Amino acid sequence: MQVYCVLGDERVIRSKSPIIFSAVMRRLGIKAAYVPFKIAPDQIAQALESIKVLNISGANVSIPYKEEVIPHLDVLSEGADIIGAVNTIVRNGDLFKGYNTNAIGFMDALNDARFDVEGKSALIFGTGGAARAIVFILNWLRTTSVFVAGRNQEKTGQLADRFGGEAIPLDSLEDRTLTANIVVNATSVSSPDESPEMAVLLEKFKVKDCELVLDLNYDRSKNFWQDIARRNGARFIDGLSTLAYQSRRTLALWTRIQAPPEEFLKAIDETL
């Protein structure tokens, strides 16, 4: 039996990835297990060495380690190298290759929602690995304008400069109205319990011509991104569809099996 895992901080225990991958692999007849591992920031190198020792076949990398894991890998795919973030590790003997399926999974989710971003404007919240993937793919899909909002001005500016976009200090959003056809949350927070400050800020946030709000998080009973969609008469999509599509791409990298998207979407429905 093969074993796969996902590496992350304490939030990894709440991830639906183990349930989804286990269900899909079982239906496809793949004899494998998928388990979550909580690790500390200074344990990344040890965790990868443990993967070798325990003969684990591959791993996902969750927040907040998608960028931090890179120095510990042997080689990167072209996409992971360009984006500068890794969410999938393929093991070949003692060699680790990092991939990024976040970007292509997000594109697949947009296609599934029948939302074409070409010629439209976008606003992305966040500056981490997920945000890097989203900004990259939106520019690749020919989004006309991309705004990147973040707390850390230096990181926000670097991200916007690297992939193309305008950096916006998060606290300036109270004083301006942005035009954005799609708003994407690539931060780790979505509810007032997680960030009261963000909840207050977004209550005052004004956006014009918003058609879709996509939150990469999921399973929030109270969601201030959904509130933004409701106030603007826009569609709201949480991160489960993106998770399904990026998981499908990850499974193909690990096993070379091209599973139908429906298998992953069905597995997600079963968890709800």
Residue ranges per domain, the chain? 2-100+241-271, 104-238
Phi, psi of 96 (to 5 degrees): -115, 130
On the question of pLDDT at 42 being above 90, the answer is yes
Pick from 33, 214, 25: nearest CA to 134: 214
| Cβ atoms within 10 Å, residue 93 | 6
Strand partners of residue 271: none
Mean pLDDT of the chain: 95
pLDDT score at 191: 95
* pLDDT range class, residue 12, cuts 50, 70, 90: very high
- One fold for both 2-100+241-271 and 104-238? yes
Q: Quote the CA–CA distance of 100 and 82 in Å, as a whole number.
A: 10
Q: Please classify residue 194 by burial: count the beta carbons closer than 10 Å to its beta carbon, then call 0-12 exposed, 13-18 middle and 19+ buried.
A: middle
Does the pLDDT of residue 220 top 80, yes or no? yes
Query: What residues are labeled active site?
Result: 66
Identify the CATH assignment for 104-238 out of 1.10.10.10, 3.20.10.10, 3.40.50.720, 3.90.1150.220.
3.40.50.720
pLDDT range class, residue 238, cuts 50, 70, 90: very high
Query: What local confidence, expressed as pLDDT, does residue 272 receive?
Result: 65
Both structure tokens of 121 = 């404007």
Q: Which residue type does 254 have? A: W
What angle do the packed helices 17-27 and 261-271 form, to 10 degrees?
Answer: 130
Domain 2-100+241-271 indexed as CATH 3.40.50.10860: yes
Q: 241-252 in b/e burial notation, b at 16+ Cβ within 10 A?
A: bbbbbbbbbbbe
**Residue 271 confidence (pLDDT):** 73
Average pLDDT of span 181-186: 98
